[in-house]
Amino acid sequence: MTANDSFIAIRNLSKHFGSVKAVDDISFDIRRGEFFSLLGPSGCGKTTLLRILAGFEVPTQGEVLIDNQPMATVPPHLRPTNMVFQNYAIFPHLDVKSNIAYGLRKKRLSKEETARTVNAALEMIKLRGYGNRRADQLSGGQRQRVALARALVCKPKVLLLDEPLGALDKKLREEMQLELRQLQRSVGITFVFVTHDQEEALTMSDRIAVMSRGRVLQIDNSARLYEAPNCREVADFIGTMNFIDGSIAATENGYAVIDAGRVGQLKAPRGDGGFQRNNRVTLAIRPEKLRIEASRPGNGGNFIAGRLGAQAYLGDRSHFYVEVPGLDRRIAVAAQNVTRNLEFGDNANREVWVSWPVESGVLLPAEDA
């Protein structure tokens, strides 16, 4: 990334609460007009980082630049950022109109201009005619939109969103995800979006920073995070992943042969991890890239033998869990139910073979290395 690309620059940023390092020496850049997500489990520091951007938390160390302006001495009310709070924080003593107009006060617009802006905002969030309602007369989705409009009328350089969809039910959440994405494209404002929901992050973001224990593990687009995680923690957090530990027995061209103990010898692309012979590694494979068969598959690709432990029918797909001698965790296999099959038999304890093409595996450094 060149310096020109950097719209929000985060440099060696740390925030300590007593002995807890909520944000631990983080540095990265967010581009102009990007939908950028901070993804991680609760307590990973993503909300603290967002609150530092908004100016509600003072960093212990490091600095933040927004559009080349250092933010260290800028108080929240003077920052070019606006925030959509997790619980929306709609002012309960004001109606919808006054809530949306709240951020326009400092702009000292005329009455007519304020009214026009507010009406345009109500139009945008499809709540025309709701201007005189109070917060407690709105549904969750409507409050969410009001909070969004209230922040956007201020025309911030950066919109900060703290799990804004967390309180909505699943259907509405998916709807709002699309709407939010469309809105971001049309207004062209940089969005920084905090979420613990990996599916939500994958659906909406241009790029995602996966965080854990105050650090950033990987920053990439959705496809790369899913298909090419750079460590076991990212691989485990995003989607479901099977792991097989072993060490590299040999390397040939772009491939590595992994000695996985009782599981046998497996092949995988070497990737750009610079793995050498005898390196301890973890081979990661997604469940949907695996095939499950009753008989030993032909040559080519990897295969391991096991015993079917459990299976689950999910409608569009089925999950199989295969016990493999030598592995702690059962291998998960996801199969699309392509054909109609009304007889979902219980095949527990059957001997099965799990196979996958060599290219489907990802080599990761072993966790304790």
170 interacts with other proteins by CB under 8 A: no
Question: Can you say how many angstroms the Cα of residue 293 is from the centroid of all Cα atoms in its chain?
Answer: 33
Coil, helix or strand at residue 163: coil
Closest distance of CB 248 from other proteins, Å: 51
Structure tokens at 159: 């919109």
Closest distance of CB 83 from other proteins, Å: 5
78 interacts with other proteins by CB under 8 A: yes
**For residues 268 and 258, what is the distance between their CA atoms, to the nearest angstrom?**
8
Q: How many residues bind other proteins (CB under 8 A)?
A: 34
Which residues touch 282 (CB under 8 Å, ≥6 apart)?
232, 243, 244, 245, 246, 363, 364, 365, 366, 367
Closest CA to 139 of 82, 200, 90, 201: 90
Q: Which is nearer to other proteins, 105 or 329 (CB)?
A: 105
Contact stretch for other proteins (CB under 8 A) within 2-10, 75-83, 192-200, 232-240: 75-83
Q: Which is nearer to other proteins, 151 or 248 (CB)?
A: 151
Closest distance of CB 60 from other proteins, Å: 15
Q: Which is nearer to other proteins, 60 or 86 (CB)?
A: 86
189 interacts with other proteins by CB under 8 A: no
102 interacts with other proteins by CB under 8 A: yes
Interface with other proteins in residues 293-332 (CB under 8 A): none
185 interacts with other proteins by CB under 8 A: no
**For residues 71 and 244, what is the distance between their CA atoms, to the nearest angstrom?**
46
- Which H or E element spans position 355? strand 351-356
Q: Which is nearer to other proteins, 125 or 324 (CB)?
A: 125
**For residues 266 and 180, what is the distance between their CA atoms, to the nearest angstrom?**
43
Closest distance of CB 185 from other proteins, Å: 24
**For residues 116 and 277, what is the distance between their CA atoms, to the nearest angstrom?**
68
108 interacts with other proteins by CB under 8 A: no
Contact stretch for other proteins (CB under 8 A) within 103-111, 221-229, 246-254, 256-264: 103-111
Alpha helices in 125-277 (DSSP H): 140-152, 170-187, 198-204, 222-227, 232-237
134 interacts with other proteins by CB under 8 A: yes
- Which H or E element spans position 97? helix 96-101
16 interacts with other proteins by CB under 8 A: no
Buried b / exposed e across 272-307, counting CB within 10 Å, b at 16+? eeebeeebebbbbbbbebbebeeeeeeeebbbbebe
Q: Of the candidates 106, 116, 126, 277, which one interacts with other proteins according to CB under 8 A?
A: 106
**What is the pairing mode between strands 158-162 and 190-195?**
parallel
Residue with tokens 């196979």: 355
Q: Of the candidates 87, 278, 341, 347, which one interacts with other proteins according to CB under 8 A?
A: 87
Contact characters 253-272, other proteins, x per CB under 8 A: --------------------
Q: Of the candidates 65, 89, 310, 366, which one interacts with other proteins according to CB under 8 A?
A: 89
Q: Of the candidates 37, 48, 81, 114, which one interacts with other proteins according to CB under 8 A?
A: 81
**For residues 118 and 122, what is the distance between their CA atoms, to the nearest angstrom?**
6
Structure tokens at 140: 């969750």
85 interacts with other proteins by CB under 8 A: yes
Q: Which is nearer to other proteins, 51 or 286 (CB)?
A: 51
Please, what's the largest Cα pairwise distance for the chain? 77
Q: Of the candidates 23, 38, 71, 83, which one interacts with other proteins according to CB under 8 A?
A: 83
Closest distance of CB 166 from other proteins, Å: 9
Chain residues binding other proteins by CB under 8 A are 54-56, 75-78, 81-83, 85-93, 102-103, 105-106, 134-136, 139-140, 143, 150-151, 154, 167-168
